[in-house]
Structure formats: structure tokens, C-alpha cells
Structure 1
Amino acid sequence: MRKLVLYISMSIDGYLATKDDELSWLSIVEKEGEDYGYHDFYKDVDAYIVGKTTYDTILKLTGGKLPQAENLDCYVITRQNIADKENITFYNGDIEQLIHKLKSEQGKNIVCDGGGQIVKLLMQKNLIDEYIISVIPVFLGDGKRLFIGGIDTINLKALSSKSFDTGLVQLHYSKQ
């Protein structure tokens, strides 16, 4: 069965972005030839889930394109009625139904790339199978949190942790 994996970065103090969705702080760990396992991870993924705010931020950063739509079936979770585009489904139904449907289908893993509201919804329903969190060596002090709260306790099993010379630490957990 397919797994839903949260694959995301956050600051040491738990933020996904600044209050105005600014992400330039992620560049402090950029290093030529280092992708932190991104390429290998995505070999086992064929579906991508993201919230509408994160989708809009990606479009601003990429000049109006969702790069993941070139290779993956993409689902943008929204409250709005938006017409689908090639490889992008704008979904405003029950997220639990969507995840159960995707997990029951043949295919590779499903990745979620945020944002905080979507992560909260998925965690409330205990739908995330694995968490891969890259902790960036910076304190933002304020911004948009990855883990918003308002969920029940979820016990996890540590699968691995990797430290990189850039200061990035990647944590990998699965639900028990």
C-alpha cells in the first residue's frame, strides 16, 4: 500500500516560512552537489499534495509553474472551486477520503509539502505514515509554524537522522 510522507523543511524553532511567506532563509544550506536525498526520495513518489497557500508561494517563486506537476499527479487542497489543470487537481472535498482513495490505488508514495494547515488536518486524522523533516540551522523567531497544534498525541518511531556539514539535520520518523 502507498504511504503518505510529509517531506518538508523547517527552522530550528519550527517555522515553515516567515509571516509573509518568505523562504530565502532556506538558501543558507544550499551547497553545490548536495540535494539532501531529494532526488532519491522522489524516485519512489508519484503523487504530490500541497495546500493552496503553499501552492501560491511556489508559483511566485517559479514564475507561475508548479514544477512537481511535470512528473507527479498533484493535488492542491483548497476551499475554493478551481478548475483543474494538467496534472493538477484542485481538491475541496474531504481530505481523509482523498488520502484513503490515493493510498488504495496502485502507485508509488504520496508526498505532502505543507503548509501547516494541511499538515494539521492530516495529523488530526493520523494519515501521515512517515515524516522526513529537514531542520535548517536558523531561528526565524516568528512566522508560519509547521506544527500548529490542536492534534492528539501521535507516537513515532525514529528511522534515521542525518547531519550535514551545512548544519542541516534531517529527521526521519514513521508512525507506530
Structure 2
Amino acid sequence: MPYNRKVILYISMSLDGYIASLDNSLDFLSSVAQEGEDYGYTNFVSSVDTVIIGRKTYEKVLSMGYEYPHVDKAVYIITRSERESIGSFNFYTGDLGELIADLKSRPGGNIYCDGGAEIANELMRNNLIDEFIISVIPILLGDGVLLFRGGRPEQSLRLINSKSFEKGLIQLHYSKVE
């Protein structure tokens, strides 16, 4: 029985396409911080029961002094080094396409791609992202970690929604065209 689980990339980037500065800083995100505004994140996360994240992004979150926020979900940390699972945190070294196929074959909520750029681009290379929710921050970083890298096939998208916010953030929501 097929399940209707979607892989969704939910990410922020600068207007010129960077998700972090050259030193992997996310400080530019604070330019749109606003009391009481989470840009739909809480609603989005409530639709998710599985998270895919790259090891570097996972370690970046931990290095910022935060506890990883998705302890109530199945988390797959994509890495090249074998490690034992810790509770719902699975260190995955296998084929990303096989992982997605396996997850979609099971009942559950949506699957959140929490970054980073390497994982997002690998998923795009293999046409495995069903929806893109991209928050564009009104800043030009000039250099850094580019979200959309070359070496992937062309992919047509359909706009589901776009929304602008008081601090200048524009959120774009697309689905892939089958």
C-alpha cells in the first residue's frame, strides 16, 4: 500500500542563494527575527515525524549550545562514519535513495530535510524532494554555502504559495511537477 509521505526541504537562504556564510555562520538569519513570528515553522513541524539532516548541519546545531530540537521524531543523520543509534537518532551511512524509498513505504507523517546543502543537493540530484519551502532572507551575503549547486537535472516546480512578512522575508512553497 503506497503512503502519501512527502520529502520536504524547509530551509532559509539569502537572496543570493546562500544558506550560511563562508565560516558556516547563520547570523544573517537574525535580521528577520521577530517576537512571536516563526514563519510557519511550528505548523510545518507538526506535519513531520521524520527528519533527515547532514552530519555537519547536525553538529552545527549542537555547537550553537542548543539541544537538537526534534527529539520526538525519527532522525536520520546522514554520515560517512558508522555510529551507533542513540534513541530515535539514527546515524545513516547507506544510500540516500534507498532510505527515502524505505521511509515512504511505511505509514507516517512528512519527512523533513533539515539540511544542509550537501544532503539537499543529493536529494535534488535524485529527484527525491517533493516540496520546497524556502524562506528568502533580504540580504546579499556575496559568498558562503550555496543551496543550489550544479550537477543536478532540471526540475519543474509548481508554486503552491508565496507569502511576504513584515521583516522582508519572502517564503516560497513549491511542489515538484510529476
Query: Which category describes the TM-score, using the shorter chain as reference length?
Result: over 0.9
Deviation at 1:62? Answer: 2.9
Please name the residue that 2:37 is paired with: 34
1:83 is displaced (CA, Å) by: 1.6
SS of corresponding position for 2:119: helix
SS of 2:64's partner is helix
In structure 1, how many angstroms separate the alpha carbons of the residues matched to 2:65 and 2:17? 24
1:121-165: CA deviations, max 9, x gaps?
A: 101110000000000111111100111111010000010100001
Q: Distance in 1 between matches of 2:114 and 2:15?
A: 18
Q: How many residues align?
A: 174
1:71 is aligned to 72
Q: Which amino acid aligns with 2:123?
A: L
Please state if 1:149 is matched with 2:142.
Answer: no
Which amino acid counterpart does residue 159 of structure 2 have in structure 1?
A
2:102 is equivalent to residue 101 of structure 1: yes
Q: Which amino acid aligns with 1:166?
A: K
1:111 aligns to 2:112 (yes or no): yes
Structure 1: where are the runs of 5+ without partners? Answer: none
Listed as ranges, the gaps of 5+ residues in structure 2 are none
Q: Give the match for residue 49 of structure 2.
A: 46
SS at match of 2:151: coil
Query: Counterpart in 2 of 1:162?
Result: 163
Match of 1:17 in 2: 20
Give distance in 2, aligned partners of 1:86 and 1:62.
Answer: 20
What TM-score does the superposition give when structure 1 sets the normalisation length?
Answer: 0.96
TM-score, normalised relative to structure 2: 0.95
Deviations for 1:60-115, whole angstroms, at most 9, x for unmatched residues? 1134x3111x2211011111112211211000100000001111111000000111
Which of 124-133 and 79-88 deviates more?
A: 79-88
What SS does structure 1 have at the residue aligned with 2:39? coil
Tell me by how many angstroms 1:51 deviates: 0.5
4+ runs deviating over 6 angstroms: none
Q: Distance in 1 between matches of 2:124 and 2:26?
A: 24
Identity %: 51
Partner of 2:172: 171
